[in-house]
Structure 1
């Protein structure tokens, strides 16, 4: 009985009946959520187009990763800050109230992309420090290193070239310093 049904399954799958089952829709959604490609029902042309789009997106990231700074590398920079370098805290203002790394300025990740396009005067008026130049050193940090990594990507996509990431971020700083500073 089962042998007669099995040969018909591929024909049913090709006809599109299986494409729209709730199980497959759920599987596709889960795959998309976790970044897994699930395109078995796409035509060769659609697969080629998706691959080209995917490759174009990855081309920007293929040749770079923001250099990661350690606590030991960052500490001297906070003790003797330089005017041509920015230490930017990308946490939200209510998080910064808990403390911040000395010499840092706050520019929340939630407004970073839009802020990098402001005129220098508008930027300074809004955030209280000068708009970084495209080639100036920018060190990003956040609470735990996740948002600072995103901030590095945003800066890179906006033409900034001298980007550093303090991945240890606020939690490591607090652990090593033993006290918050504001």
Structure 2
């Protein structure tokens, strides 16, 4: 079986790279240079400019998807903005559109609401009871 996995990519901040004890002899300048190099490596440079992994073409990847094996993975590391239409069936909402977040119990949706507001979305709501509340209320209704 060929496994397809989704991975969330994250922007690497300088603070996360430089946090922790200094290596022996490291200076602030050295740490900042390594943070800059690390950031530059994970931006939108053309594959192959910095990476050393072998590069595959469509013709090489396609057969791997048609004859899966348990020892191989195809991992999707696209950004959420790049797959939102495919995954959810709609475009990314505009900053002023109404957005209601829900999850299983309301905890993750509260976090998502907070993150959306911090990222400029202005018409954001959290369905506090979320999926558990919804299903318990819907069970009593007849079709």
Q: Same fold (TM over 0.5)?
A: no
When Rg is computed on C-alpha atoms for both structures, the one with the higher figure is 1
Higher relative contact order (CA closer than 8 Å, sequence separation 6+): 2
Question: Normalising to structure 2: TM-score of the pair?
Answer: 0.39
Question: Normalising to structure 1: TM-score of the pair?
Answer: 0.31
Q: Could you say which structure has the higher helix fraction?
A: 1
